[in-house]
Amino acid sequence: MPITPATATPSSSNGTAEAILLELVDENGVTIGTEEKLTAHQPPGLLHRAFSVFLFDEQGRLLLQQRAPGKYHSPGVWSNTCCGHPYPGESPFAAAARRTYEELGVSPSLLAAAGTVRYNHPDPVSGLVEQEYNHLFVGMVQSALRPDPEEVGATAFVTPAELAERHAENPFSAWFMTVLDAARPAVRELTGNSAGW
């Protein structure tokens, strides 16, 4: 599958912009249709499939990314390692691995499912709504990052204490604490008790 930035509008064979489609789901995560990406995020938001990735280094520090300033949704805010939407019919696991590589230039190690969480988070700046059935994944990063500057403004590895300090002083995505809290049991299993997550 070709690399496609989250905000891209790839051209079809006749030269017109091709819509990026998301998978709409019911409250149980069962696919019920598709909708164009931006339309699905208009208030009140349509429930759609998403994923969130949390990668850690060998010291148990979480890799955060600051979303690039040109992103259409939540630009310039800090968030988890990677998040996005599977293509219709694409498994959340495959989408998580694909987008992590596209955004950060690394393939996660030991990537494992960490449950799901359903939420409704409006973005106060853009007015868009994240109405998502989110598949969570945890794993390790064991190679040098090569972030795509169109997707990622900055990265940082943080301990729990450093995250708390950064979270108090910087804007974070509206969904960040929801997905982190939902992933914590799997995070603790991956990083061990000494990491403090």
Whether 150 is catalytic is: no
CA distance 27 to 22: 16
- Give whole-number Cα distances, 81 to 40, 64, 141, in Å: 23, 5, 10
Q: Which of 80, 86, 78 is nearest to 154 (CA)?
A: 78
Active site residue 151: no
Label residue 192 left, alpha or beta by phi (over 0 means left) and psi (-120 to 50 means alpha). Answer: left
Report how far apart, in Å, the C-alpha atoms of 158 and of each of 85, 102, 172 are: 25, 22, 14
Distance between CA atoms of residues 137 and 130, nearest Å:
18
Nearest C-alpha neighbor of 77 from the set 176, 173, 147, 177? 173
Identify the active-site residue in 23, 103, 130, 132: 132
Catalytic, out of 82, 83, 130, 151: 83
Active site residues: 83, 132
